């Protein structure tokens, strides 16, 4: 099983600031099959990024993903009020598909 570790646990930022979220995989993620999701209180997760860097349909270009080895990064360039919530990474390279424990992005 691939274990995903996310950091930081909480990120306190102001609207307009840049957010950088990290996700480390315990082993190589084949074809960089890693996704990022956003979850707001009481809602289901929403797919933002797949294959490490491809934006899902309808996702604004302020969201971007990158990878270096087993280190994956989600960057939000200029936080909007609606971007605050919890972000999860997920690998889908091997079964079981696993999620990280999440990073909460909160308003400073």
Partner 1 sequence: EVQLLESGGGLVRPGGSLRLSCAASGFTFNTFAMNWVRQAPGKGPEWVSAISATTGDTYYADSVEGRFTISRDNSRNTLSLLMDSLRADDTAIYYCAKDAFGDYLGAFDVWGQGTMVTVSS
Residues near partner 1 (CB under 8 A) are 33, 35, 37, 43-47, 50, 56-57, 88, 90, 92, 95-102
**Beta carbon of residue 14, minimum distance to partner 1 (angstroms, whole number):** 26
In the complex, minimum distance from the CB of residue 29 to partner 1, in angstroms, rounded to a whole number: 12
Closer Cβ to partner 1, 55 or 62, answer by number: 55
In terms of Cα–Cα distance, which of 49, 1, 2, 23 is closest to 101?
23
Distance (Å, rounded) from C-alpha 32 to C-alpha 69? 9
In angstroms, give the least distance from the CB of 15 to partner 1: 25
Residue with structure tokens 């990120």? Answer: 11
Comparing CB distances to partner 1, the nearer of 34 and 76 is 34
CA torsion through residues 60, 103, 24, 93, sign: negative
d(CA 50, CA 56) in angstroms, rounded, equals: 7
Q: Which is nearer to partner 1, 70 or 101 (CB)?
A: 101
Helix (H, G, I), strand (E, B) or coil at 30: helix
- Output the smallest distance, CB 99 to partner 1, in A: 5
């Amino acid at each position: 099983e691939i274990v995903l570790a996310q950091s930081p646990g909480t990120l306190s930022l102001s609207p307009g600031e840049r957010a950088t979220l990290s996700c480390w995989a315990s082993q190589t993620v084949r074809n960089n099959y890693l996704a990022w999701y956003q979850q707001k209180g009481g809602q289901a997760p929403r797919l933002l990024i797949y294959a490490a860097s491809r934006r899902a349909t309808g996702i604004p270009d302020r969201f971007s993903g990158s990878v270096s080895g087993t280190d994956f990064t989600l960057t939000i360039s200029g936080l909007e009020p609606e971007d605050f919530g919890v972000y999860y990474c997920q690998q889908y390279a091997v079964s079981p598909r696993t999620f990280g424990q999440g990073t909460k992005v909160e308003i400073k």
